[in-house]
Structure 1
Amino acid sequence: MLEEALDAVLGEIEARAAQDARRRQEEQRDIVEREVRWRAAVEVAREQAVRERTAQALREEAGRWQVSAALSAYCAALERRIGELHGVVDEPTLSQARRWLEWARAYVRSIDPLRELPKMPDAREPTPEEFKPYLRGWSPDGPERWGGR
């Protein structure tokens, strides 16, 4: 009877030890898998953050170009209007308009972003705060998820 009880207790201890070992292996495998998924998510988030920063630079450059183009069109229209009014409007008024046109053209040249060829924006590594919005719930600090997910 005692031997049977002892065998049963030892059997139970061995079974629990085997279960604990399997559980620890599964937990370790889960930790490694979570780390791999987190690293992949961070890499994608970094790429997206760099893309967005570059796209923002492009939008800003295009905005400056649009302002420059609109002012250049204004200068062309003003020049045509001065030509139309030559001989109709007094010379001091035309002279003032020409001075204004000269200044405006110089200003447009000074703000035109295409007067020199553009280059790629700064390629620095994004900060965790910059790529955080693209992590889809992952923490930028490690493979833990926010909100217990």
Structure 2
Amino acid sequence: MLRSDTPACALEDQLAEIVQEVTLRGEAAERRRLDEIEVARQKRVRWEAAMEEARVQYAEAYRVRHFEAQEAAWRHATRLTEYVSAVRTRVEAMPPGQTRTEAEAWIDWAATRVERLDPLNTPPRLPDIPEPRADDLRPFLGHWSPYGP
């Protein structure tokens, strides 16, 4: 409310009321500002918790993919081992000579290759989890953005 001199009330007489009104409005604005800061702080805390949980879920999903890849590699190596074994059986029935010697060389190469492919030939261990990029975390964040609250 704008104050001014009037015949009924001098501006000087209204000054205390004006100062009180300005003070109250200033205090209300400061409370709103502090409330907004607190709301933003709480939102950031929730976002940071969501990011931490997303990192945990990302790591678990990475381990699962690694585990499944090891199983697929094992199945592949098992099939190749069976194939090399079948070839070996066939080659052993061949008469000695150049063709058999070349086939045995191939069998040696293939058996070595299969041995390197088989994940069971090394002790299992948890994979090193790479540092996730923002987009790597997106599937685990729900409504949150990986870039900030």
TM-score, normalization by structure 1: 0.69
> What is the CA deviation profile of residues 38-92 of structure 1, one whole-angstrom value per residue up to 9, with x for unaligned ones?
2112201211232233233324323332321121121232244456xx3xx6443
Cα distance in 1, alignment partners of residues 116 and 104 from structure 2: 18
Alignment CA distance shift 1:128-1:79 (3 Å)? closer
The 5 Å alignment of 1:30-41 reads 30-41=39-50
- Please report how far the alpha carbon of residue 26 of structure 1 lies from its aligned counterpart in structure 2 after TM superposition: 0.7
Which of 9, 14, 27 is the aligned partner of 1:18? Answer: 27
Structure with bigger strand share is 1
Is 1:106–2:146 an aligned residue pair? no
55-64 or 129-138, which deviates more: 129-138
Q: Which residue of 1 aligns with 2:78?
A: 69
Change (3 A) 1:34 1:103: same
| CA RMSD in angstroms, aligned pairs only | 2.9
Tell whether the 8 Å contact from 1:41 to 1:138 is kept in structure 2 after alignment.
no
User: d(CA) in 2 for partners of 1:60 and 1:104?
Assistant: 21
* Structure 2 unmatched runs, 5+: 1-8
**Does residue 1:117 correspond to 2:123, yes or no?**
yes
The 8 Å contact of residues 82 and 97 in structure 1, kept in 2 or not, is answered as: yes
Write out per-residue CA displacement over residues 9-42 of structure 1, whole angstroms, 9 at most, x where no aligned residue. 2332132022112202211211221221121122
**Within 1, Cα distance between the matches of 2:79 and 2:116?**
14
CA contact (8 A) 1:48 1:131 kept: no
Q: Which 10-residue stretch deviates more, 2-11 or 70-79?
A: 2-11
What is the TM-score of this pair, normalised by structure 2? 0.69
Whole-Å separation in 1 of the counterparts to 2:146 and 2:109 = 53
In structure 1, the gaps of 5 or more residues are 145-149
Hey, what's the Cα distance between the residues in 1 that align with 2:81 and 2:28? 78
